[in-house]
Structure 1
Amino acid sequence: MKHEKAIYHQSILPEHRNNPLIESLQPKLEDELLAEKLSYFPNCLYEESQLDAIERVEYISRLKDLRQPLPIYIDVFRAVESAIKEGYSAKNPLSPTTMNYLHYALDERPDIEPSTGYFKPKGCGITVIGESGVGKTCMLEQILGYFPDTIEHTYYRNKHLPIRQIVWLKVDCPDDSSVKGLCHRILTEIDRKLEIPSVKPASTIASLISQIEARIKSCFLGILVIDEMQNLNLAKAGGADRLLGFLHNLVNNLGIPLLFCANPPFDTLLSKSLKAARRAESSGYFDMKLMEFDSEWDLFIEELWELQWTNVNTPLTEELSYKLYYLSVGNMDLAVRIFQATQKALIGSLDERLTTAALEYGASIAVRISKPEINKVRKERNITLLKRKNTSSIKNNSDEVTNNNIPIKPELHTSKGNLISIPGDLTRAHHTEFAEKLVSLRNSEILHEAIRDSNLFQRAATENDPLDTLRSAGVLFENPLEKFTET
């Protein structure tokens, strides 16, 4: 966790100035610098690719650490950043309004109004919707990780200010959709962030809600993020409505910004109530979809492809890029898993080049339970959009890439752990007796020096009897078995 001592910066908006909760946040960054902060590119050194196979297999676990920000990351970050500042703008700890807010519940505050007025909540809602595997949780981890978990204040402009501010809190929606279950998770997370012994939850729902509200107020929570909101139990009578009602009371009474993260059909649930939908999207609604085969995919695949621990580096081509896109249907998580499984299968073999057939084999290992859903995505996707960046080389292979079924898992054939033969991959040696020599020739940096007569076939083509020319040169054998057994 990131615990920071408060360092104050002048706010951009005049109405945010002289508010230590806002001025202790990091200064606003330009998009370019922000993208760097939200990214993480694992190391992949040439020396690592030359290690023994058993060591290189360990390195491919780094693939899952790759974080390549997409344009939606910036949009969601800006929404979170604005929501936190907006929520804090009504809770200046130096204001009489905030003192009244901290000490009294909304229905218990005295009739004597503070000199700066009664507390007016400025909470809002943000919703992020997307299918499993599109990168919602990874995106939120990167965005929230930019902010400190807590900020400790001691003095602000020579005034004593002994408070600890929790900037963000993230919990998962309970499976039973219960308010009690969610309250317990929030309490546990608050204690963990503050690094204090766990506080015993109240025994009744009413007391528990009052306890939660008091804790949230005292730690000056900036934003509450609730993941896995698709866990709302629609079958349980009133469960979803009660939980949503509780959450919206946090917005209305405490001014706490909420961020919902969920898979469909959570969006359908929200749309049934105009009130719920309006609140949930008041500061942004973001629908994360599978990547298209366009510049976003290029941004991701170019970074992913750099992470090769095979002993030979395979350059990225349009054909390889499209093959991995096709196999993963643009799902970032599936693409990483397929690329990882492919390298794991190739490392230690005689030929470790990444080919389209090798990627298919990797997909057959990595994608099993998900196969029906992937096939469904392929059937529903508009083929015109899929080929938006199509090239002539891909069109020549259209029979291969437009098949609506994942290729049947090919069998893996090995010979003493040296030769890996993937059926359909004609670029690999399929005969053990020739494999080592063919691979060494392919990888040779002085191949031209090993060719005694580089113009032999061109010259033979001009002769009256080309085959006789090849026989004379010793490169054509009508009976190779007889020739090879002469020794």
Structure 2
Amino acid sequence: MNDFIFSPADYVPTGMPQYDGNPLIECLPKILSDADVVRCIGNAPARPDDAERALDPKLRGHGINRIKDVVVPFEIHLRLEDLFSQLIRYGYTGRNPLHAATVRHRLPSSAEIKGHGFMSTAETMTLIGLSGMGKTTALNSIAKLYPQVISHSRYNQQIFIETQVVWLKIECPHDGSLRGFCTAFFSSLDAALGIEKYSSRGAAGRSISVMLQNISQLCKTYFIGALIIDEMQHLCSSRGGLDREQLLNFFVTLSNDAGIPLVYVGTNAMLPLFSGVLRNARRAAGMGPIAFDRFTEDDPFWVHLVSQLWAYDWTKAPVPLTGKLLSKIYDLTQGNTDFLAKLLMLVQRHAIWEGIDSITPTVLQQVYDIQMRLLHKPIEALRSGDPLQIADFEDMMPTKDQIAQMMNYDLARRADRTHLSLITQAAIVAVEHAEKPATEPTSKPVVPVGNNPAPTAHFSEGDDVQIQLERRGWVDRDSAW
């Protein structure tokens, strides 16, 4: 084991009674203030000066790539860092290695031991957002505020030899398969530890159930503080849904039984994963979802971001950012940060290649028309504001619209069940009426009979589903589902 890549534990009490006395928490960096977070995760590479703009066009072209390294912290970054800090620390409160319950819990046979005293304090955080809005970049910057691996040797004059993995990041396999996830976990753990020990456990032919048990045990062995699962939307593509359900169930088991905090990261296309099973939805909403949606044109954070990136201009005669330029940039990017960076980099390369001294709205449009053709459809869909067009690009749909669409679908699904229930009740009433003496008063049917059509479960596309249900008398206006 290559100890030189590990950070040696340095224990500093936090002042919080639920944290102090736990070496897994006291060894972590101090809890940061907002000002510290901005300073630590923000990144402003050197801006080009007149001397750099006078260099050969080939060299200036290389300078343009510095735009990719710019990180401008916003309020959402502060919230994300705060929740990640709480997620890791509170998750360790139930796994104090000095407590007997934790020692018993880490034993390979602990899954078979009932009543060993372990109680999970793991939470789940969900990070969702449009493709290209910088959610993965933000989370990577925040995770790197913590050493990934910490080596313990002695705590309060006691021998305490342990290796602690503070966080581990895994990307869901493109096909959403269980075997692919297991392989990714073992490889990621080996990379963090600087060894080649566990990757072979993902070899073909090994039992998936055994590999999942190994993953659970390794999470306990190395006191993994947070398991970050990126590209969660890939689970939607798993064949037949079998692997998807097994993997989601495994995540719940990791959180409940192994006490491992989870961070789900993905585009809005992953939201349906949590819409069908209550425990999955409950876990995903554990610390409240953090949504990276696109900026509106009048959002001051958008203006600030554009102004910061605009300073990285390698053309010969840079111009100040005007309202006209700002409006054109928004029209061509629709508030997507990845589209913004691409546009500014492409337009500068175009200007340098073509000998153009300054960036103008006309040049921006030319670059968009020619070099961003592949993005025209999603950008035009966003520009239209039409949910039906945006829905064609599932990972571009705003989070609130995606959730509203899921809720409307769920209302329609419930209405279908209500319709079936009403028809069943009508059939039961009809049978009971046929069996009763003719002198008894007849019961009024629950649904129309005879020539009157039965109620339909289909709805008009333009109207609210709840209103249509009220009109049909299927629900009361003041009642809840």
Answer yes or no: same fold by TM over 0.5.
Answer: yes
Aligned twin of 1:265? 269
The 2-side partners of 1:22 and 1:378 are apart by 47
- Using the alignment, how far apart are the partners of 2:216 and 2:142 within structure 1? 25
| Aligned CA distance change for structure 1 residues 10 and 54 (closer, same or farther; 3 Å) | same
Pairwise mapping of residues 238-277 of structure 1 onto structure 2 (< 5 A)? 238-277=242-281
In the other structure, the counterpart of 2:160 is 161
1:41 to 37, 41, 44: 44
Q: Is the 8 A contact 1:42 1:65 kept in 2?
A: yes
CA distance in 1, matches of 2:27, 2:372: 46
Q: CA deviation at 1:107?
A: 3.3
Query: Contact 1:131/1:263 (CA < 8 Å) preserved in 2?
Result: yes
> What CA deviation, in whole Å up to 9, does each residue of 1:106-145 have, x standing for no partner?
432277x5xxxx1111111111111211112111111112
Q: Deviations over 1:85-123 (max 9, x none)?
A: 111111111221211111144432277x5xxxx111111
8 Å Cα contact 2:14/2:20 also seen in 1: yes
- 1:353 Cα deviation after fit: 1.0
**Aligned with 1:369: secondary structure?**
helix
TM-score computed with the length of structure 2 as normaliser? 0.75
Matched, 1:32 2:35: yes
CA distance, structure 2, for counterparts of residue 253 and residue 268 of structure 1: 25
Number of residue equivalences: 377
Q: Indicate the residue corresponding to 1:357 in structure 2.
A: 362
Q: Tell me which residue corresponds to 2:378.
A: 373
Matches of 1:379 and 1:17, distance apart in 2 = 54
Distance in 2 (alpha carbons) for counterparts of 1:365 and 1:39: 33
Q: Is the 8 A contact 2:9 2:27 kept in 1?
A: yes
How much has 1:381 moved relative to structure 2?
A: 6.5
Contact map agreement 1:106 1:253 (CA 8 A) in 2: no
Partners of 2:109 and 2:374 in 1: CA distance: 50
CA distance in 2, matches of 1:85, 1:69: 23
Deviations 1:458-480 (A, max 9, x none): xxxxxxxxxxxxxxxxxxxxxxx
Distance 2:156 2:221 in 1: 21
In 1, the alpha carbon distance for the partners of 2:371 and 2:222 equals 44
Aligned-residue offset at 1:57: 0.9
Contact between 1:188 and 1:198, CA under 8 Å: does it hold in 2? Answer: no
Matched, 1:144 2:163: no
CA-CA distance at 1:361 after TM superposition = 2.1
Does structure 2 retain, via aligned residues, the 8 Å contact 1:337–1:366?
A: no
The partner residue of 1:96 within 97, 100, 124 is: 100
Partner of 2:342: 337
Q: Which moved more, 1:1-10 or 1:154-163?
A: 1-10
Name the Cα RMSD after superposition. 1.9
Equivalent pair of 1:5/1:153 in contact (CA under 8 Å): yes
2:186 corresponds in structure 1 to 187
CA distance 1:337–1:100, shift in 2 (3 Å): same
Aligned-partner SS, 2:150 = strand
TM-aligned CA deviation for residue 12 of structure 1: 3.4
2:307 partner letter: E
- Conserved? CA contact 2:48–2:313, under 8 Å: no
1:201 aligns with 2:201: yes
Deviations 1:320-353 (A, max 9, x none): 1221111111110111111011111112555411
**What is the TM-score of this pair, normalised by structure 1?**
0.74
> Any gaps of 5 or more consecutive residues in structure 2?
388-481
User: CA, structure 1 residues 77+119, in 2 after alignment: closer, same or farther (shift >3 Å)?
Assistant: same
Q: Residue 71 in 1 paired to residue 70 in 2?
A: no
- Residue 175 of structure 1, CA deviation: 2.6
In structure 2, how many angstroms separate the alpha carbons of the residues matched to 1:136 and 1:365? Answer: 28
Q: Does structure 2 retain, via aligned residues, the 8 Å contact 1:251–1:258? A: yes
Partner-residue secondary structure (3-state), 2:144: helix
The answer to whether the 8 A contact 1:87-1:122 is kept is yes
| Structure with bigger gyration radius | 1
2:240 partner SS: coil
Distance 2:300 2:386 in 1: 18
Q: Residue 322 of structure 1 corresponds to which residue in structure 2? A: 327
Q: Deviations over 1:391-435 (max 9, x none)?
A: xxxxxxxxxxxxxxxxxxxxxxxxxxxxxxxxxxxxxxxxxxxxx
